[in-house]
Amino acid sequence: MNKCYWELKESSHNRKKIYNMENAKKTENPLCDSCRKLVGAGRHTKPHSNLEKTNFNPIKSMHGSVDETDYTCRVCEKKWLHETGSYGQGWVG
């Protein structure tokens, strides 16, 4: 899997984005094995044991309720949003 990121370079006269794959390996915080399993997981997938709940926000709408819960992994420090309910997206990282 290719890892990449966008880096914003600024000077007094111009701003440009640079696509940098080599430095991405050095600077990107890799996911732990448990967090890798959450990538693309649905709303019924439970949080793994190393996720710490940081915020909970119940949302009511005419389409149904959705609970948004923020988590941070204690191992890799990845921040996750878990959306549940009838139209929740599941795990969003």
Question: What is the secondary structure of 25-72 as a DSSP string?
Answer: HHHS-PPPHHHHTTTT--TTSPPPTTEEEEEEEEE--TT--EEEEEEE
Q: Does residue 81 carry a pLDDT above 50? A: yes
For residue 19, what pLDDT is reported?
40
What 3-state class would DSSP assign to 39? coil
DSSP run (H or E) holding 33: helix 33-36
Q: Tell me: pLDDT of 22 over 90.
A: no
pLDDT at 89 over 70: yes
Please report, as a single letter, which amino acid is at residue 41.
A
Average pLDDT, the chain: 76
Q: What is the pLDDT of residue 28?
A: 59
- The band of 61, judged by pLDDT with boundaries at 50, 70 and 90, is confident
